[in-house]
Every structure is written in structure tokens, then in C-alpha cells.
Amino acid sequence: MSRRRVLVTGATGYIGGRLVPRLLEAGYDVRVLVRSPQRLTDVPWAADVEIAQGDLTDLESVRQACEGVDVLYYLVHSMTSGGDFERMEQLAARNVARAAKEAGVSRIVYLGGLHPDAPKLSPHLRSRAEVGRILLDSGVPTVALQAGVVIGSGSTSFEMIRHLTDVLPYMPAPKWVRNRIQPIAVRDVLYYLLGAAELPPEVNRTFDIGGPDVLRYGQMMNGYALEAGLHQRPIAALPVLTPWLASQWVNLVTPIPRSLAVPIIASLQYDCVMHEHDIDDYIPQPDGGLTPYRRAVRLALGKMSDGQVETSWQNASIVGAPADPLPSDPDWSGHLVYTDIKERHTKAKPADLWRVIESIGGENGWYSFPLAWAVRGWMDKLVGGVGLRRGRVHPDKLHTGDALDFWRVEKIERGHLLRLRAEMRVPGGAWLEMRAEADADGGSIYRQRAVFFPRGLGGRLYWWSILPFHGVIFSGMANRITATAEALSARDSSRTASADSAHPL
């Protein structure tokens, strides 16, 4: 029996990028229709799919993409308000409906949005509902799943909750913070999308989908705060804050573009909860049930068993959890991260540079502004931290897990990489990374990176308060480490030359 072929539109988007690898795992042959194949360059599954280039507003390219397809996923929605986006979305939906019917596609699966039975919807909710109607009237059996706020790192709705809660200890907000919302974890959205592909052909209808919790928007923000280790935020509902003013406010205090904030906020003017639970009669709930909101937040934050936040900067691999970041996610999504990066080219041999890196801390010091390091250690002790008194376990060698003053060795690749995790008291997570790399001239390159994930407004203020000192401390550190490594190399070369002259051939 031949494998079923699936066409995914919107594969470079938030949901589509997470659905494709799960379709592959389920045994489907996957084709993706994208306008710019270059956007798939870094995704881990690009080599496992057939890539068709085209645009949904171009009927001929949609026809070609639909050839030989059994199931079509429609995961495209404009999040901008410029131009006549409603007309363009309807044109795209009509092209897909026509091409799918002509090609004999047996199932369309569409992901729309929960919306109330209101006479006047926001333009984006209205457009999503109209796209669903066009697909349902296509003559191809269609399932239109209608979801509310999707919880997962990279989801625009979740990122707005994350950034607003992180940055504001007090939240003046529009009155819609009192509206009821039924959020759903991204893993549950993907579960329903996969299940919808296998529904019998007589099913042609909409289904509401949502998680087990119905919350007010303010409760969602404070639920996030608790999971992120922040204090709950006092929230004042202001009746005068219009959707337009609210979007300006979101644009000001978060990295989310106003063009995205506008449609989200406009959609929050209504209660968005499930009106029916008929999906349970067709697709049984996943093992263990649907994901509660607080657990969905924990997954989106990448919480590990020890409560630490698992960060995505540490490696470029995609671990495959649906709440994890993907290369195709927008650059403003995910945890806010501050970095201080220094790079130095040195005549020192890589082995000598590594000797200096591995011997850092303890009695050997930190190669820059000793008084500043001592003061930071005293400050840490005053607030109950570990300070600088722990020193080193071994004068020259480090191992994963070793304590190193107020750091902990998180990862070591001997001869190449040392990564330290801060254990001093700071309002966030901090790492210091040092690398030794060979260059083409026989010397080496020293790369140094300080990384800080702020927790709440206090974390942001902390980073900016110490930023003036970074130019002195981290620059001096990079300069002294490379200078010390050069002195080691010069001394070794001198010894070698002396030995050669004392023992001529």
C-alpha cells in the first residue's frame, strides 16, 4: 500500500513548522508549498520533504502543488493589517479550494480561530471565519479546527503574554483583561491536526478546540508569572485604553511589532471559549488528557526537572518538543537574552590559550579588575549567595560539575570550550563561555561570550546597571587571557630554542 501524500501550506509558520516533522514521523510523504524555499534552509527536516515553490494567490502554482496529494493542510493566515488582506486571503482560499477539488484531494484540514457568535468580529477573526467557510464549501471534505490562544514558545499570542509579564511589575491594561479565554497547548493543537487527517470523508464541518482551562487574560498573565518565577502582577483594567492605544503600548514595552499586536488585541475584545466539544466524538483526547495551562507554560519555558530554564542558545540542534524554538520562528520570540561578545586573535598556540582558560578562577583570578570581582563576591555573600570563596577543586584541571568561585562548570570540551553557569544571586540566568580555536596563521582565536536571561523588570535593570562595567571587565579579561597565552607560547618557544642550541645535531 502506497504512503499517503500530504501538502502543507504555511510550513514556514509557527504551527506548520512543528507539524511537518510529526507528519513525517507518522509515515506520510510530505510536500510543502512555500514562496521562499530559502526560509527552510536551517530547519532540520528540509531534506526529508518535497519543496514546491509557489504562492497561494497564483492558481497555477497551487494546482501543481496539489497534484497527487491526499490531504492538504491550510495553515496560512495574514497577521498584518496593511492593504486589502481580507480580499487576498479569500483569493488564496478560493484557489486552494478549486485546485484541491480538481486534483481529487480527499481531505482539507484548516486551522482557524475561536470566535464568538457576535454580529461584528475583528477583521482578522472575520477573515479566518470566511476562509473556513470557503474551504467547507469547496466540495472537498474539510475539517476547520478553531483554536484560541496557542501556548508555546514562538506563538505570537504566548510571546505577548511572556514579554508583557516579564517587563511590567504593574500592568495597566484594557478592560479585555477580564475577558474569558480558553488557551490550548501547541502539542494539543498538533495532536488534533494529525488526527483530523484520518477522519472519514463524510465529516465536513468546524470543530472548536481548546485546553481544559477557561481563564481571564489577567489570570493567564499571572499564571505565566508564577511559572517563570516572578511575583504576580497587579492588573488595573482601564476602560479608556482602546485597541489601537493598547497596541501602541505593547509595541513600546515589548519586542512584538505593532503590526502583529493590532490583530491579536482586536481579537481579545471578545470572550473566546469553546461553544461545543464535538471533537471528542471524533478524535479521543490524548493519553493523559489535554494539557492544563500552567503545564503548557512550563513546557513553553523549557522548564527542566531542577526548575532551571533550558536555553536554546547553547546548541543549534532541535530537540523536537513542539514548544521548543525553531529557526523559522521570529527573532523576537523566545526568552529575552542579553549577550556580551568579545573576540581576540592571538599568536599563542591553541594549546597554550586553552591552558590559560582552564586555569581561570580561584587563586589564579579572573584576569581583569580584581577589585571588581572581589566586590561582586562580597555583594553576593551579603545577600546569601556563595561568593568567591569556593575557589577551584584542582589548580589546573576542570571537570563538568566543578564549583569555580561563584560559577559552576556546565560543559567542558577540553582544548576547545569552557561554559560556566553563574551560581551567584542574580535576577535571571547567567553564563560565561570561553573558546579556543586554531586560526590559519598558526595562532589562535579567543572567543568569549557572556549570556544573561533576565527575570522580570529587575533582571533588565540589573543588566543595564552593570553594562558600563562590561567594557572594562570583559574587554580586560579577553586582553589579559590572550596576552598570558602569548607569554606562555613565547616562553615555550624560547625553551625549545635553548634546548636545540645546547644539543646541536
| Higher per-residue confidence, 115 vs 175 | 115
**Grid cell at residue 26:** 507518522
pLDDT higher than 80, residue 119? no
36-40, 145-149, 239-243: the lowest-pLDDT one: 239-243
Superfamily designation of domain 338-499 = START domain (3.30.530.20)
The arithmetic mean of pLDDT across residues 112-119, rounded, is 80
pLDDT score at 311 = 29
CB 421 within 8 A of CB 410: yes
CB 211 within 8 A of CB 177: no
The C-alpha angle 270, 334, 246, rounded to 5 degrees, equals 35
174-188, 208-222, 349-363: the lowest-pLDDT one: 174-188
pLDDT higher than 70, residue 504? no
CB 264 within 8 A of CB 160: yes
Per residue in 221-254, pLDDT (tens digit) is 899 999 988 888 888 777 666 666 777 767 666 6
257-271, 388-402, 466-480: the lowest-pLDDT one: 257-271
pLDDT higher than 70, residue 333? no
CATH of domain 5-301: 3.40.50.720
Per residue in 195-211, pLDDT (tens digit) is 999 999 999 999 999 99
The secondary element (H helix, E strand) that includes residue 166 is helix 156-167
70-74, 185-189, 410-414: the lowest-pLDDT one: 410-414
Go through 341-354 and write b for each residue having 16 or more CB atoms within 10 A of its CB, e for each that does not. ebebebebbbebbb
pLDDT higher than 60, residue 501? no
Domain ranges of the chain: 5-301, 338-499
Burial class, 176, CB count within 10 angstroms (exposed 0-12 / middle 13-18 / buried 19+): buried
pLDDT score at 184 = 96
The arithmetic mean of pLDDT across residues 113-118, rounded, is 80
Residues in contact with 209: Cβ distance below 8 Å, sequence separation at least 6, in sequence order: 145, 146, 147, 184, 188, 189, 192, 274, 279
Helix (H, G, I), strand (E, B) or coil at 178: helix
pLDDT higher than 50, residue 436? yes
**pLDDT band at 317, cuts 50/70/90?**
very low
Go through 277-296 and write b for each residue having 16 or more CB atoms within 10 A of its CB, e for each that does not. eebeebbeeeeeebbebbbb
Answer whether 5-301 and 338-499 agree in fold.
Answer: no
CA 397, distance to chain mean position in Å, is 35
Burial class, 117, CB count within 10 angstroms (exposed 0-12 / middle 13-18 / buried 19+): exposed
Burial class, 214, CB count within 10 angstroms (exposed 0-12 / middle 13-18 / buried 19+): middle
| Higher per-residue confidence, 122 vs 445 | 445
